[in-house]
Chain A
Amino acid sequence: MSASIDKGINALKRQVDATVAAFFSSCVHCGLCAEACLFYTETGDPKRTPINKTEPLRRIWKNEYTLMGRLGKVLGLAKKVDEQLLQEWQELVYDSCTLCGRCSMVCPVGNDIALMIRKTREGMAAAGQAPAGLIGAVTRAVTIGSPMGVKWPALKAQIKHVEEDTGLKVPVDVPDVDYMLLLSSMEIMNFPEFIDAVARLFDKTGVSWTISSEAFEATNSGIQIGVSDIAAELVQRIVDAAEKLRVKTVISPECGHAYTAIRWDGPNLLGKAFSFKVRHILEVLDELRQAGRLKITGKESRKLTYHDPCQIARRGGVINEPRNLIRMFSDNFVEMPDTGKMNWCCGAGGGVSANERADEIRLKVFARKKAQLDAIKPDAIVSACSNCRIHLEDGLEEYNMDIPLLSLTESLAEHLADRDCAGAGRNE
């Protein structure tokens, strides 16, 4: 990935469209976005105001795409985009933004600031101004197939364990099934219970599914760092596998940005609509609930709350499904203040967790989540993103909070009716 300031500027130019121009034209510097951003509220540092993070893109828009800006450029009055600016902005664009999109929900003139920051990253990455941690993750994703360097033998070994534990067959490379399940490296390495849970849930509900040995990685570092070419390459691998196996639907696992990458950005990155559907695992499970196929037994009385992963809820639209599912096994479900589409980010999405330089700030801004949790004092937190889960665990430990974290998919599997009778796999 050769990079230079010229490439960065050209990449930024390619990002300017009618939406960006309308957004920048409308900003009145009211500062409301700052109060919607945990990187400002928890640090009090005004340079972390969301709209300020888009300054490199704003300059390109102004200088190249407005009458007054072009005039200013001729007169030598334009503020330039140079290496120094991008270097200075790295910390704001990558370390201090999780692309959570809360700012985009409160901007009174309607600017989708998170989209503007995402677009700014395209220019930063092309100019070589991205954090080393993210560059490493992207390189591993391209060369090895996973940002954490997880290869097929590792997943194969985990599948073997799952098969031994559940007595079920985990289907691999089975063609013409309904669903192809993707996984995040985090699930494979840290939370293999997720695979276990899906195997049991799909067995009980009679779902035909498979995992592809050629494309099992759902995460997309290209999206996080802001390199569309690489993001497209990673999506293409999934499309090739799904088409080869002729599956009807690809399932995005409990991972936030993976869902955005494959569900919303994927077809646009490739420039063509998919021949299959993409659903989040929670959407699939909620469809099974609606069809009466998901049978749950026993209700928990401990106080549960749900942390909405930003890319799944606010930026993804999966908001009601987790609540429908939690109420199947809980009669004491309590919402945090500011929830659903207005939930506060955990502080580690959008590539922040892959960027070691941001370790300190991501734990600092977790104070916002702590305040939300302190308001309701739950007995356990349910969520549906491995990245949120790892960071929530880190944050809870940092702030000496003893609250267990549950995966929603795994919780459902634990409450499956008749779970002891799980027999052999039923993949037709």
Chain B
Amino acid sequence: MTEIELLSWARGPGLQIASSIFVAGVVIRLFEILLLGRKANLAEARGTEMSSGLKTIFTRTVPDRTTFRRSSVTIVSGYAFHIGLFVVCFLSAPHILFLKDIIGFGWPSLPTPVIDACAVITIIALVATLVNRLTNKVMRFLTNFEDLLTWVLTFLPVLTGYLAFHRIGLTAPSLLAVHLLSVELLLVLFPFTKLMHAFTLFLARWYNGAISGYKGVAS
């Protein structure tokens, strides 16, 4: 297989297979959770479930002061790589063009130097989260194989994307093929690992807010 054939496969069938597994997997996982259901609360309510749940989806994004002070490294590195990932995934010109081909519409991109800086920040932040995971006493204790696997799955697309953009190491088609394949690997494993938190966190935060809100506590 030539590098061009590899790139064509990665852009065509490879992407289709990976996207299909991703979508089907996410849907199955969400149904798997929601179909378990939840009993209605029979105690007299002091507050509301719906609005409190929705509120917590947003408010839980900001840590309270003591938590921030006690876990600042985890929080700052976590914020940095999440925001960085979002920016390089969805606000870089090549990605927007790529997505426009698939979904039919695009949106304005950020200037290349900004994206480049974000990519570097994301890489640094991801390395920092790994170092933190391996050195922080609690995180090291909690860490299992899946935590390391998902780190690699997240890191590879950022790294290969950066290399592809700057054409470092290999020819352009090879770099692009490797980048696409790393994204496809991420998509395939996404629904079956803790990466699913990107979707289930909305459910979890809603439940948390609803449970507390019902009792009149803003969580």
Q: Please measure, in the bound complex, the distance between the C-alpha atom of A23 and the C-alpha atom of B38, giving whole angstroms.
A: 13
CA distance A111 to B206 in the complex (A): 10
Measured in the bound complex, the distance between the Cα atoms of B196 and A66 in whole Å is 13
On whether A105 and B142 interact (CB within 8 A), knowing A18-B34, A25-B196, the answer reads no
Q: Is the interface of B mostly helix, strand, loop or mixed?
A: helix
On whether the beta carbons of B60 and A108 are closer than 8 Å, the reply is yes
Residues of A within 8 A of B76 (CB): none
Known: A40-B138, A105-B64. A26 touches B197 (CB 8 A): yes
Given contacts A47-B141, A338-B66, A342-B64, contact A17 B39 (CB under 8 A): yes
The CA of A268 and the CA of B43, in the complex, are separated in Å by 7
Residue from A23, A25, A44, A112 whose CB has the most chain B CB atoms within 10 Å = A25
Which chain B positions have C-beta within 8 A of A316? 215, 217
Interface segment among B8-16, B25-33, B180-188: the answer is B25-33
Stretch at the interface among A142-150, A166-174, A269-277, A405-413: A269-277
If the complex has contacts A22-B204, A109-B204, are A32 and B74 also in contact, measured as CB distance less than 8 A?
yes
| B24-62 near A? 1/0 per residue, CB < 8 Å | 000011001111111101111011000000001100110
Q: Are B142 and A317 in contact (CB under 8 A)?
A: no
State whether A67 touches B138 (Cβ < 8 A).
Answer: no
**In the assembled complex, B209 has its CB within 8 A of some CB on chain A:** yes
Q: Which residue in A23, A35, A41, A263 is a CB contact (below 8 Å) of B204? A: A23
Bound form: Cα–Cα A267–B41 in Å: 8
Contact status A109-B201, CB under 8 Å: yes
Contact of A31 among B46, B63, B139 (CB under 8 A): B139
Q: State which of B32, B38, B209 has its C-beta within 8 Å of the C-beta of A110.
A: B209
CB of B138 within 8 A of CB of A49, answer yes
B211 within 8 A of A: yes
**A27 at interface (Cβ–Cβ under 8 A)?**
yes
A-B contact pairs, 27 of them (CB 8 A): A18-B34, A18-B35, A18-B37, A19-B207, A22-B33, A22-B200, A22-B207, A26-B196, A26-B201, A31-B71, A31-B74, A32-B71, A34-B138, A105-B64, A108-B61, A109-B197, A109-B200, A109-B201, A109-B204, A110-B201, A110-B208, A266-B43, A274-B43, A274-B44, A277-B44, A278-B44, A315-B215
